[in-house]
Structure 1
Amino acid sequence: MTFSFDALSPADFEDLSRDLLGRELGVRFEAFGPGRDGGVDGRHAAAGDTTILQAKHYRLSDFNALARTVQKERASIDALTPNRYLLTTSRPLTPPNKDQLATIIGPSLEGTCDIFGNDDINGLLRKYPDVQKSHVKLWLSGAGVLERVLHAATHNFTTLTRDDIKDKLSVYAENPSFKAGRDILESVHVLIVSGPPGVGKTTLAEMLSYAYLAEDWELVAIRSLDDAFAHIDDTKRQIFFFDDFLGRIALDARALSNQDSDLARFIGRVRRTSNARFILTTRAYIYEEARLQSEALSTRALDVASYVLDVGIYTRRIRARILYNHLIVAGVPEAHIQALVEQNAIKKIVDHDHYNPRIVQTLTNADRVEEIAPADYPAAFIAALDDPLSVWDTAFRTHIASRCRHLLFAMYVSAEHGAEIEDLEEVYNPLHQALCRRFSLSSGPKDFEESVRTLEGSFVTISNGQVSLINPSVRDYLAQYLTDSALLRAMAEGMATLRAARALYDHFKKVPEVSREDKAAFLISFIPLAANAVNEEPWKPIRGEPNRRRWIGMSYSSQIELLRGWWKTSKRQEFLDAALVVASSRDIWFSSWADGRLMPRLIASLRGAPKAERGKTTALVEALEERLIQILNFDLDLDDVHRIRTEVLPRKGHLAQRIGWSADSAAHRVIAELPSNLEHVDSESTLDDYTKLVDELGPAVGATPAEIARAKDAISSRANRLRAETPEEDALSLRGDSNIEIDWFTDEDLRNLFAPLLASEE
């Protein structure tokens, strides 16, 4: 593999040069800041002899620029009087180039063999592959690795472009969290990355995922634990990535009880197989609140806490590198950087109590910098750290048209982590029209298209047909902005889908001083939407692939639960009628994985409600019971029927007796038919689970000893065939030393790091 070093900043290139030349010479080079006046990027002193290393990262400049810079530093080189002088550059060098540089450098150079150009450095990287692996940005930026990452990413909802990956690599500051995270993943296979908003949890998770992708693992980016169970395959090496996993469910005991057992089960599954890794991210405060409410998240048997890696603690050097990388990659004008230096703002930013990579990214964005005069740039940067959400306020209120603000409102209620353009347009158009009518604003047929184009690069990003907020803090700002009840009621009149309406209502309930009467009045706007609920499918065709469909929303049982909740709050019969239409329609199909587990809870809740309520929901309960029995009579996997039966057993007192019988009968039938229904199972861990389930369920549901024995023999036989078909994997190279040394980084180091940015070297 040959590297151009494009992904490395000058400081990164110096680190690489010290490591490579140190390994080649068998010495350790001291690191020095890349200041303009010292001429030293590395030094080794022993027995009175001094070796000086200087690194020149001239990847974007011609040879003459390099020669001029070396000429300027000739006096500094002579003043240092080293016994040996070494020069590295990322530029390719010809023999005449080296001869010319040797003449410029003078007697401190032993020979042209001590001048290392691009080809020489690549040769050392091939000679010392462990050094290559230790420089993550370099390794992941290799052409072959990028191709593997891109190929894998195209099969996941986190579809990426080459530029996306290179941009992330360019601003990433290598830090001990990467090695620590790798060690945890290799040790226990599961890593929960927690920390405050904006500290880089997702970035760390992505870098770890890319590293596994580079080793030919398959990326499986998931939105739910159902996605995880649907895709895990022990015959493949898979890295599962679940971003903001607790942010996707309401933090109440009921919601968590629906999720934590599945989380425990999937974590157990991953831990038992050598071919799976699982990375999750979550905000620290959400995680701590969830642990207080969830048995599975706090149990010692699961011991999830031992997997947590808080990335919120960065050394001063790492903070400085993050700022430095963003200034370079974003191309912040030298006048703005000069102002940061002259006003001593670099130190204030790096040492700020609210230092946050997200704010650094935002305040170095080209569009943002253009709006700020150089002299005002330091104050704007500090103000953003003092109050992060203020970053978006002026731009939102004064720099964009109302149609663009409406698009951001549509983003807020569409999807937390991005939406397909067609799904966003479906939400935007009626919402935009409703707001324009209410507030007497003009509108046009091209408003959606023009709004997307206007906001791209400033408030949103667009990649492979998906629109996402450019920064999670935009969503935080919108949550703060959307507290006006009149505006929210106007938005309610323009909701196009139950998914969007649910998100808006959940937000409305959090507005201060909202009463029950306010909630009831708010829900009236959703009555027309409820009447059309039966036509709101959870799936949509995939663009260009008419035979495949993608999951976009709530299951039918979740729709019914939502409508029932709205009925209870508003007392409007229309919601209950709509729920009954969904439950009774013969044109829709309830599925075991999407609906099976919720339905026993929903039915039990309806039957256990106060008498006055039960009298109004009899038809709905009966329709749901018919649907659940229909699911149980259909072809099921053993784990499907187990999950449904697990929900049925503790609720038998509030369920019709026939549901309990149907659940037991389904489990018995699945066990009896298991020997002929195992060919689709390609996971040894799943087969291990099946063996335990047969032992657990068999006697309880009336399976005979012979049926149980045949089922277990079939499972064992299938497992043996899988083992014979699965090749032995080579030993993994993804290892890291998580020991973190004390990292001293003085004010002088800080000044030296940023000084070259004002030198216009490249």
Structure 2
Amino acid sequence: MDIGIRADGMTTSDFENFAIEIVKKKFKNNSLHGFKEGKDDGIDGIDDIASPSLVIQAKRWQVTKNHTTAVKLLKEEIDKIALTKEKYGWEADFNYVIITSMGLSPAGLKEIRDYADKIIPNAIPNDDYIIFSSTLTTLSQQKAYRDIFMNYGLLEKDITNVLRNARLKSIEAESRDYFSDFDAHYFVETRFLGEAYHILQREHILLIQGPAGIGKTTTCSMLGNLFLNNNENIFDIIVRKVEDINEVLTLYNGNYRDNEDRNLFVIFDDFLGRNKFDVGERVLQDIRKLYSASTNTNNLFICLNSRTQILQDARIVNFEFQKLIDENFIENRNFIIDLSRYSKIDRAYIFRKTFEKKLHSLGDIDKLELVGKYNNLIGKGLYSIGITFLDQ
């Protein structure tokens, strides 16, 4: 890639700013700064106007510019900086960096060096202080400089990074959409939430079980919300079906595994089936892969949930699944939270909040009917059944 051809299309001010960033990096001098457009006494960048150690002259020229003329103009800039030295009273020696968008021949480079040694001795001690198109091309291929070239449009961003960023933006939007109708006001915080949160932080995988309507999905959502609002780390939250495990692993491996700045939190709702156990052998193998990935990586978090009866049926019907659950979720560590162990007080609070949420969404006539149902269920102490009934 000929950076000279690309750089000559920049505006003068952009090229000067680009030159300053390159010189900052190359000579490890973060004190360099530029000036507004206008008369500059031959200074496009400098680290200390009173007593500089480094002065920059940046020339953006078309590659078609006559080389003899270009060398002549650069020599005139050397004359100008010599006068500026006297004008500003610079007593200490300084280094002078020329950076230009066009190419130089060996003869042209030597002519500039020789002239500088005569006018401002020792200001250009070696060829590193004259940066031209072929030098820029070399720098553009070095990792340390790539961001500078990309920021000024001199290098195209790696297509892989472009696609990855596009996917991450899509995931971010999905995370926001997932919580768009989630209202923490109607969530009852119990000791199980704290237990679940700490298990996920420590083990990166959690299985929540319980009867229908007990709040498994809501608990997963609340956990996702807690991780999403973790001020220390960036989390993306998605919900997937168990059949999508391979897609999730592909998403993770391609966009998160080597990205220490982001974490992926995946919720698998009713992962064994909504009304009965209907997961095949292939999916069970995928669950093993999911378990392995979550426990052997730093930024993948998995939250599974299932009705207790379906989980029990799965362990009875399928020996391999029973082995998977017993070995990985029970014997090695306790990864399971059983919401059926809610106390009566917890159940009553959950029932009340479910009622309030439902009531808030109804019109006046329907509200009266719901209040009647609620009072009837309260009188019978049917909190768990009531939660399911009210939520229909």
Q: TM-score range by the shorter chain?
A: 0.3 to 0.5
